[in-house]
Amino acid sequence: MSLIGPSRKQGSQKSGARRAENNRIYAHPLPLVFPAPSPSTFGHLLGLFGLSTARLENPHCEGVFDPATRSVWIVNEKDSTILWRRGFFGKGDLSRSEPSWLARQTNARKAAGKYMTSEEVREKRRAERMQFKRDRAAAIARAAAEAEAAFAEGREAAPAIIPSGATWKPTPAPASESLPPPPEDEDEDEDEEIPEEEPLENVEHLQLTLQEAWFLVWNLDCLTVLDPYTNVPMSLQQIWRAFQDIHCVPPELPIYAGRFDNPFLIHYAAYHYYRALGWVVKGGIKFCVDYLLYKRGPVFHHAEFAVVVIPVYEDPADKESSPFNLPNADTFSWTWLSTVNRVNSRVQKTLILTYVTVPAQSRVSPDLLSSPACLAHYSVREVVLRRFIPARMRD
């Protein structure tokens, strides 16, 4: 079945078993889990009083702050699996989503990989699309030549048959290519090593953006961030300070002191807003936007919304004195808006402009910046954009 044509089913192409598997693996929306308490009479009694014996299971993950890439690296494989599977935090730095580099290398070495990773599915889809484009170009060339010949002979040309995306079928591929997608058991793959070649060292890590890391550290307290040079866990104040200073080069300059428009704060306000509402927030560079919002996660369905973060200054004087080159802070042109909306409507995403208001330094004391309490002074508003075509949208 072609990977580039429209799917038979209403939603995704996944089978029922695959969906059940995904529901099982990705059951927890956050790294903190409440394991079901065992039923007991004591528990029942407490329940009558509105109390509960439920415990909280905290995975206590550990990551390293990397200033050069402005991110937090989770090197431990167990922690990266937990953070990905419970909330889709982070991205494997050698993969398109979850860290699958080792699985892909192992598959390549075995050369008879039983399961395909998402990257391999993507390569297969791209190869099919390339083949479809070649077939279509050849059909167009044939139709043109036929029309020329018919015109020269003074007869009607035979009707041309140009393959379209919906009707084209790939030519039968060798059996080794039609593989089912894998179950998410990477831990088993990593244990199998090829005896002939040297064992593969997993050089991939899970990379969290500073916003994701701060969300885990501050709100859920399930992440410890280590200082890259001393390997000592950083305190909450140190992390809060370091994540903002990363945008201040060099950090000691007085122009950076007491700034509410630090890019980390503005992006964190937007990230926290959507995460707190239950959306899974991922980076949106592939669609020219800041963030993509997923209802449950990337493995379930494509993102429905694309978010562009636009900072708005409460006090114009703050904007004049800003040492940061904030993108989208100035009024945008209709060509830019039109382009971004066009890109996203092509992929069936709705564009959301998220306006984050930066509080005025004259009204709110910059001393508040020493703690996350300052975030309460940022306000987030959204404008949803849809292109209106009067001729077609009469109903």
Partner 1 sequence: MERHPSYQILSASLSKYPKAAGALFQTYNDLKLAQQWSDLEVIEVPGCSRYALRGRRPNTDVVLNVVPCSLSESLSTDWIRTTFRELNSPAHVYLAINTEDSSIVYYKISPGIVKPPL
3-state DSSP assignment of residue 313: strand
User: Smaller CB distance to partner 1: residue 207 or 322?
Assistant: 207
List CB contacts of 332: < 8 A, sequence separation 6 or more. 310
- Nearest approach, Cβ of 93 to partner 1 (angstroms)? 4
- Asked if residue 91 binds partner 1 (CB under 8 A), the reply is yes
Member of 68, 152, 232, 277 binding partner 1 (CB under 8 A): 68
How many chain residues bind partner 1 (CB under 8 A)?
34
| Spatial separation of the C-alpha atoms in residues 114 and 100, rounded to whole Å | 15
- Asked if residue 27 binds partner 1 (CB under 8 A), the reply is no
Site for partner 1 in 314-373 (CB under 8 A): 325, 327
Q: Give the x-and-dash track for 213-232 against partner 1 (CB under 8 A).
A: ---------------x----
Binding part of the chain for partner 1, among 89-97, 217-225, 330-338, 383-391 by CB under 8 A, reads 89-97
Cis peptide before 250 (omega within 30 of 0): yes
| Spatial separation of the C-alpha atoms in residues 56 and 31, rounded to whole Å | 10
Are 344 and 286 within 8 A, CB to CB?
no
Binding part of the chain for partner 1, among 133-141, 149-157, 216-224, 372-380 by CB under 8 A, reads 133-141
Distances (CA, A) of 77 to 73, 217, 233: 11, 19, 19
- Nearest approach, Cβ of 223 to partner 1 (angstroms)? 16
How far is C-alpha 134 from the chain's CA centre?
32
Burial of 348 (0-12, 13-18, 19+ CB in 10 A): exposed
- Asked if residue 111 binds partner 1 (CB under 8 A), the reply is no
Indicate the residue type of 325: N
Site for partner 1 in 232-291 (CB under 8 A): 249, 263, 282-283, 285-286
Interface with partner 1 (CB under 8 A): 66, 68-71, 90-95, 101, 130, 133-134, 136-137, 201, 203-204, 207-210, 212, 228, 249, 263, 282-283, 285-286, 325, 327
